Structure 1
Amino acid sequence: MNSLSAPYQHFLSNPIAKPPCRMHNANMYGFFAEIESNKAQKYIDSTLNIGEEGNIYFKILGEFALITFTDIEKIASMTPPFDQHGWMQETDIIIWLPVAKVEDEDITYLYWYPAFICVNNIYALINGRETWGYNKYLCDYTMPSCVSELSNFSISLECFEHFSPESKLQMHELFSITINSKHQDSDFLSIIDNFGDQVANLFSRKHLDIDFSLLKQLLSGFVNPQMDQILLKQFPDGSGDSAVYQSVMHSPSMIKKIHSFKFLKPEFTLHLNKLDSFPLADMFGLKLGSQALHLPFYVQMDFDQLAATKI
């Protein structure tokens, strides 16, 4: 593990801004998808656990990942002088893994790991990767313009469909989420107080060896009051053989205000394509083809993304 040794240079033209940043009107749609925990654990071992030593390691919690599409209306740094530079819109598409920190074989903390994350603008990508350690990639996407007019979701990326010397980088659809039934706005179920219970009950179907109240706390973090994120921040040397910096980081999302929360009553289906550049079936054990999604929800909120610190 490497440590910081010199002040960061915010030179002219450098797009890096200082955290924390405030997110206004983040419109998040979320879906829980069943995964294969052994594959997710291998991914965690190749990322979060690669630099851990001694009696601490991280393990997958349960057999569900969370897929979110979030349209954030306005983002800006809260730190001078960057708070005077302006603001941007950002859309994030993320696959979250629930992760437990284990010390001496006891679970001591729970995190959300944004193991796959794509964004729609280069400023968000650069700041996210270099400051926090988000493994961000650029994408095109479709999603509903408002929750009262639900429609399908999709994400496409410039990548290689198949690895071969003849493959050319092109845009390919990675996955889509389709709505299975029509609905009326009155069909929404607004029960934010029970969100943690609902999702914890979904996870507990697999008989996890963990205290239910601790699990509820983790799963309530998306709506109140704090969501703890864990990240692997690393940068390669000039040969790509060694890491010039590598640390496991923690960055909390502090929920400032919930404008709206709804469970979505229609059923949704995930359709996953095989792309060698982004093998989500191998990474997390999502099913190629189609699979059902669980507990779809919508939340509109304001939150602050705090600085990342080493765990």
Structure 2
Amino acid sequence: MASHHPFYSHFLSNPVAKPPCRMSNANMYGFFVKIEPLKVQHFIDSTLNFVATDELYFQGLGEYALLTFTDIEKIASLTPPFSEQGWMQETDIIIWLPIAQVEKQDNDESISHLYWYPAFICVNNVYALINGRETWGYNKYLCDYQMPSSVDMPTDFSVSLECFKHFSTTSKLQSYQLFSVTKNAATQPESMLAALEDFGEQVANLLDGDHLGIDFSLLKQLLNGFVNPQMDQILFKQFPDGNADKAVYQAVLHSPSEIKRIHQFKLLSGDYQLYLQQLDSFPLAQMFGLQLGSQAVHLPFYIKMDFDQLQATQLLPA
């Protein structure tokens, strides 16, 4: 199918650069939060499964999503001539859904692959937004944010977006805080892992349960792959026609993140709480089953790493 596509025009002033790109000194804070599988599956059906087939479809995995705040010090394309044009700082706030790829043959179904689905993303600059949406299909939106400047003082996190709090004919686009993550005043002793490899097992234990009978070792591999050596991402990319009735392009894509170096990793001490507000433009409670108001988060962690975001390849339509 890709062979029938015309060549893309990198005309003057077009900000779209070519992948892969190198992400240096990415400071990621992560929190696992409870979700509702039925609501998550509905979101998957309205995105990834919109182009699924009778032989291949996608299903949510477990009852937890991963919320990350990542400050990336330096991003640059690795492909000339874009690699000579400069670099940028980028901050991503992402809700990741663990996803199972299910293949069906006759009456038999089997899990053929596990992915991370960045189902909600907001970023801090328009260059990152345009490149992410147009090349990879990341569902990015601009935001303002708060996050720690140092892992030695991991206190408050928040994200605000220009949007509609309530849908109505009188609503005006304004900035509203969508959610925040705060540390409780009472702290606990530092909880360190014996080794980085233990992290995958820790999270696999958290997710273990009703996940289509997936072998525990395969689940552990998915979580280990988040930090070493590769994180497999799955994406839903589409562009509307001039009436926004039909899609001129619509596909499921795969893009790996190749981890090049781990600088630091640790679990964060203390208890953290996620506080979610209702915004009609971004109804995360309806999308993923996150609880409005306060809710606990699990396994808070920090990792500093370098990684390459590789080009995206089309999975569906085949």
TM-score (norm 2): 0.95
Q: Which runs of 5+ in 1 are unaligned?
A: none
The change in CA–CA distance for 1:4 and 1:300 in structure 2 (over 3 A counts) is: farther
CA distance in 2, matches of 1:78, 1:117: 23
CA distance in 2, matches of 1:276, 1:59: 25
Query: 1:221 corresponds to which residue?
Result: 225
Letter in 1 for 2:7: P
Show CA shifts across 1:54-75 (max 9, x none). 2100000001000000000000
CA distance in 1, matches of 2:313, 2:164: 34
Letter in 1 for 2:235: L
Query: 2:260 corresponds to which residue?
Result: 256
Letter in 1 for 2:52: E
CA distance in 2, matches of 1:239, 1:292: 42
Q: Which moved more, 1:196-205 or 1:92-101?
A: 196-205
CA distance in 2, matches of 1:287, 1:94: 17
Q: CA deviation at 1:181?
A: 3.5
- Partner secondary structure for residue 24 of structure 2: strand
CA distance in 2, matches of 1:158, 1:261: 33
Letter in 2 for 1:212: F
Show CA shifts across 1:155-205 (max 9, x none). 000000000000000000000001014559x82514312000100011115
CA distance in 1, matches of 2:160, 2:31: 18
- Partner secondary structure for residue 235 of structure 1: strand
Tell whether 2:210 aligns with 1:210: no
Tell whether 2:316 aligns with 1:308: no
Query: 1:42 corresponds to which residue?
Result: 42
Tell whether 2:229 aligns with 1:237: no
Would the aligned equivalents of 1:2 and 1:246 in 2 still touch at CA under 8 Å? no
Task: Show structure 1 runs of 4+ deviating over 2 A.
Answer: 1-4, 181-184, 205-208
Q: CA deviation at 1:94?
A: 0.1
Report how many aligned residue pairs link the two structures: 310
Would the aligned equivalents of 2:260 and 2:305 in 1 still touch at CA under 8 Å? yes
- Partner secondary structure for residue 26 of structure 1: strand
Alignment of structure 1 residues 11-50 onto 2, 5 Å = 11-50=11-50
Letter in 2 for 1:189: M
Q: CA deviation at 1:222?
A: 1.7
Show CA shifts across 1:269-288 (max 9, x none). 00000000000000000000
Would the aligned equivalents of 2:62 and 2:209 in 1 still touch at CA under 8 Å? no
Query: 1:172 corresponds to which residue?
Result: 176
Alignment of structure 1 residues 93-242 onto 2, 5 Å = 93-104=93-104, 105-181=109-185, 183=187, 187-190=190-193, 191-206=195-210, 209-242=213-246
The change in CA–CA distance for 1:4 and 1:117 in structure 2 (over 3 A counts) is: farther
Q: Which runs of 5+ in 2 are unaligned?
A: none
- Partner secondary structure for residue 51 of structure 2: coil
Show CA shifts across 1:193-243 (max 9, x none). 200010001111557521000000111122101000000110000000000
Would the aligned equivalents of 1:3 and 1:245 in 2 still touch at CA under 8 Å? no
Letter in 2 for 1:79: T
Letter in 2 for 1:174: L
- Partner secondary structure for residue 176 of structure 1: strand
Would the aligned equivalents of 2:199 and 2:224 in 1 still touch at CA under 8 Å? yes
CA distance in 1, matches of 2:250, 2:212: 31
Would the aligned equivalents of 1:143 and 1:154 in 2 still touch at CA under 8 Å? yes
Query: 1:298 corresponds to which residue?
Result: 302
- Partner secondary structure for residue 13 of structure 1: coil
Would the aligned equivalents of 1:39 and 1:282 in 2 still touch at CA under 8 Å? yes
The change in CA–CA distance for 1:4 and 1:187 in structure 2 (over 3 A counts) is: farther
Q: CA deviation at 1:48?
A: 0.1
CA distance in 1, matches of 2:136, 2:246: 20
Would the aligned equivalents of 2:234 and 2:254 in 1 still touch at CA under 8 Å? yes
Percent identity between the two aligned chains: 68
CA distance in 1, matches of 2:196, 2:212: 24
Let me know the Cα RMSD of the aligned residues.
1.5
TM-score (norm 1): 0.97
Letter in 2 for 1:65: A
Q: CA deviation at 1:266?
A: 1.1
CA distance in 1, matches of 2:292, 2:70: 23
The change in CA–CA distance for 1:69 and 1:181 in structure 2 (over 3 A counts) is: same
Alignment of structure 1 residues 3-18 onto 2, 5 Å = 5-18=5-18
The change in CA–CA distance for 1:134 and 1:283 in structure 2 (over 3 A counts) is: same
